[in-house]
Amino acid sequence: MTAPDRLFLVRHAEPAGQWGDVADPGLSANGRAQAAAAGAALQAHAPALVLCSPLARCRETAAGLIGALDAAPALRIEPKVAEIPVPDGIADRRAWLADTLVTPLDALDPAVLGWANAARATVEAAPAGSVICSHFVAINAVVALVGGARHLHAFDPAHASITVLGRSQGRLHIEALGAQATMRLT
């Protein structure tokens, strides 16, 4: 019997600043502890690769996660799992995001849908057992596209939560959603 082909989507741990308020925050002290706990939770899976958004909160989550593992996996910075791109000229980023999350997929801005599809394709192409450190909306986009949701908001992953995707015959499926928390956009 072969080992299951699983991928682990880890939302970044608690940042020191909020999305829309701080351009690229690192982690809070609590976030650093959360990252280490996520690494401990993944220890049994012995990941060989961590794909990571280039943003500080994800890089610091990946570093804490890797530091908690007995065998350090390779780290690859992957811009395709970064935060959702906000179009130029958007004054209220939170309001734009709230609207975007509930817009039907077939009515999304083509650039946003292209970003979501690129994130999914990147996750789909990752080697078995990979950990992907990413963001609330990026993880939602992958889960929504894999699960056939109507819009990008599929669930509310908590900081440092671990969502498990399985892969069989090259197709992803959702095995377990990570711990959830209430998201506030205002």
Q: Domain-by-domain residue ranges, the chain?
A: 6-176
Q: Could you give the CA distance from residue 158 to residue 68 in angstroms, rounded to a whole number? A: 20
125-154 pLDDT per residue, tens: 999 999 999 999 999 999 999 999 999 999
17-65 pLDDT per residue, tens: 876 677 789 999 999 999 999 999 999 999 999 999 999 999 999 999 9
Total-model pTM: 0.93
The yes/no answer on whether domain 6-176 falls in CATH 3.20.20.60 is no
Residue 167, amino acid: R
Distances (CA, A) of 87 to 96, 109, 185: 9, 10, 17
pLDDT surpasses 70 at 113:
yes
Q: Could you give the CA distance from residue 74 to residue 95 in angstroms, rounded to a whole number? A: 37
